[in-house]
Amino acid sequence: MKSKVILLVEDNPSDIELTRRAFAKARIANDVIVAENGREALDYLFRSGKYADRDIDAVPMLILLDIKMPVMDGLETLKYIRTDELTRRLPVVILTSSREEEDLARSYDLGVNSYICKPVDFNQFAEAVKTLGLYWLVLNEAPPLPK
């Protein structure tokens, strides 16, 4: 059976809590794994560092990726995700406060599935997360994992 894990790559504790609350409000009960920067996200995806012992089947159904982070930013992380055979098909949604056209263009150039600017208002944010969850976790047919 496929894992229903969501990988949230976000360094802002307030945004992490807001996202968790939005998932709860939308009744999305999937496990949310939080990586606080791109390097930690790659460790999770490739089972290295503190995630070396993670369950091999706990592959995320969805990656929510912020852009502006320390250590390794979201665009660099996306580049690694898309160039590796194990992860290149995973659905990645940029969830960011950046409205910079360059970030938007580069995200799509690197193969992001969707780019969403975080609404400031919690109710709007909760609605956006609910819609994301319904689409990516319920309606969307997940890609097959490489053999």
User: Is residue 142 scored above 80 in pLDDT?
Assistant: no
Is the residue at 145 inside a domain?
no
CATH label of the domain that carries residue 135: 3.40.50.2300
Is the residue at 30 inside a domain?
yes
Task: Give 46-63 pLDDT, tens digit per residue.
Answer: 999 999 999 888 889 899
Is the residue at 27 inside a domain?
yes
Which sign, positive or negative, has the C-alpha torsion 14, 113, 57, 71? negative
pTM of the complete model:
0.89
Task: Give 96-136 pLDDT, tens digit per residue.
Answer: 888 889 999 999 999 999 998 876 677 888 788 888 877 88
Is the residue at 32 inside a domain?
yes
> Which residues constitute the domain of residue 18?
6-139
Domains in the chain, number: 1
Is the residue at 36 inside a domain?
yes
Is the residue at 133 inside a domain?
yes
Is the residue at 146 inside a domain?
no
Cα distance between residue 58 and residue 65, in whole Å: 18
